[in-house]
Structure 1
Amino acid sequence: MSNLEIRPRSGVAFTMNKGDLLTVIDPQGEQVADLVAYAQTDIREVISSGRTLDYASRLFLTTGDPLYSNRSKVMLTIVHDDVGRHDFLLTPCSEDTFRIIYGDTHPHQGCFGNLAEALRPFGIEPDNIPVAFNCFMHVAIDGKTGEISVQPPLSRAGEEIRFRAEMDLIIGLTACSALQSNNGSFKPIAYSVTPAEEVMVAEHAQA
């Protein structure tokens, strides 16, 4: 499958079927992508940071880790990870983020607004947007004070993370809009979806 591009400070939404592979690529390096997921059969079932981190018993997820829904079902599994450092704590940036944290008087709608726009055709309301899995985002935590700081992503140009859909899903995906998250610049994100049938053919050929 050829890669699709998400323009800087924008977002998209699309469906995946069980067994499909989603590859999220950082073409230029140091660019975050916010990812959210919903069950196609019931959009009230949504990706859950709390469930996932609770069951993993750690904050930083990588190859082999499942991402759970609010109903404790596995929605996605990380099957490949070039970077090994992502965030599942911080909520998508928004107008309020830029107003409260950065003091912007004319704030951008952020990843939250971009996700809301992209997901609206699927009947998903803004209040149903959860904490995203923030691909490539580097959040450091002070072991003594618990203070959180956002550091430059560790992803280099062309590195990627790949997920397998464990149920039929609706996916929201952005090229993050926060300067601090992306080391001071806004860049595109690339992605591709490989259908389950192609995955099975490729695995059979390698066997």
Structure 2
Amino acid sequence: MAVETRDAVGVIPPRSGAAFELAAGDELTVIDAEGGQVADLLAVSREDIREMLSSGRTLDYAERIYLTTGDKLYSNRSNVMLEIVEDTVGRHDFLLTPCSEATFRLCYDNEPPHQGCHGNLAAALRPYGVEDDAIPVAFNCFMNVPVDGQTGRFKVLPPLSKAGDRIVFRARMDLVIGLTACSAPASNGGSFKPIHYAVRKTGEE
């Protein structure tokens, strides 16, 4: 029987990342506190870190590329890891992999090198045994990547999210979550802001 719940709130500074644990049934709220900021989210099974969030499985089962309330995020073993239970934006995707040092080297001529979301996720998840090369495509909260239906070409545009917008997930298994405040200028309209998050933990009698 569910008993009293409590909220734990965190702030991820601009261009950084964090990792934390969720138990099955916990709710995670990712908040774009200032507006126009992407967050990369990765989920890893606490029981077996080889089971991770899968963009391919999730998009296959959802049959669309933009995910919102009611959609489920699946693992590489086709198990539901997270379910979206609330969404005030309606534009999130799995289209682009986490930005990395190579992203800045290959895609940005005038930007200083940065380890990007890949490096931030790797650093945050390393204490849990997750190696750099194991990190897959993350779920891009608030990212705005429209795709041309005729040519398949896409554009990376500023997020549609406004200050205080949020997306809420319910954990469907025990998880380790990696979460970033994205470091790529194009993804965030050229500026870098923090991402806030809240974890609601529900105890069991």
Judge same fold: TM > 0.5, yes or no. Answer: yes
Contact 1:76 1:163 (8 Å CA) reproduced: yes
Tell me which stretches of 4 or more aligned residues in structure 1 moved more than 3 Å: none
Counterpart for residue 91 of structure 1: 97
Match of 1:6 in 2: 12
- Structure 1 residues 2 and 18 mapped into 2: Cα distance closer, same or farther (>3 Å)? closer
| 1:205 aligned residue | none
2:180 is matched with 174
Between 1:141-150 and 1:102-111, the stretch displaced more is 102-111
What residue identity is the alignment partner of 1:128?
A
> Do the aligned residues in 2 keep the contact of 1:18 with 1:196 (CA within 8 Å)?
no
1:152 maps to amino acid: P
Aligned residue pair count: 199
* 1:54 alignment partner, SS class: helix
Is residue 150 from structure 1 mapped to residue 163 from structure 2 by the alignment? no
Question: Aligned to 1:117, which of 123, 126, 129?
Answer: 123
By how many angstroms is 1:22 displaced? 0.3
- Whichever residue aligns with residue 30 of structure 2, its letter is V
Percent identity over the alignment?
66
Q: Which runs of 5+ in 1 are unaligned?
A: 201-207
Higher helix share: 1
Going from structure 1 to structure 2, the CA distance change for 1:10 and 1:70 (only over 3 Å counts) comes to: same
Q: Say whether 1:52 aligns with 2:46.
A: no
Match of 1:69 in 2: 75
1:103 CA displacement: 2.6
Structure 1 residue 196: deviation in Å?
A: 2.2
Q: Is the 8 A contact 2:53 2:74 kept in 1?
A: yes
Distance apart, 1:105 and its partner CA: 7.1
TM-score by length of 1: 0.93
Matching residue within 84, 87, 91 for 1:81: 87
Deviation at 1:148, TM superposition (A): 1.4
**TM-score after normalising by structure 2:** 0.94
Corresponding residue to 1:24 among 20, 27, 30: 30
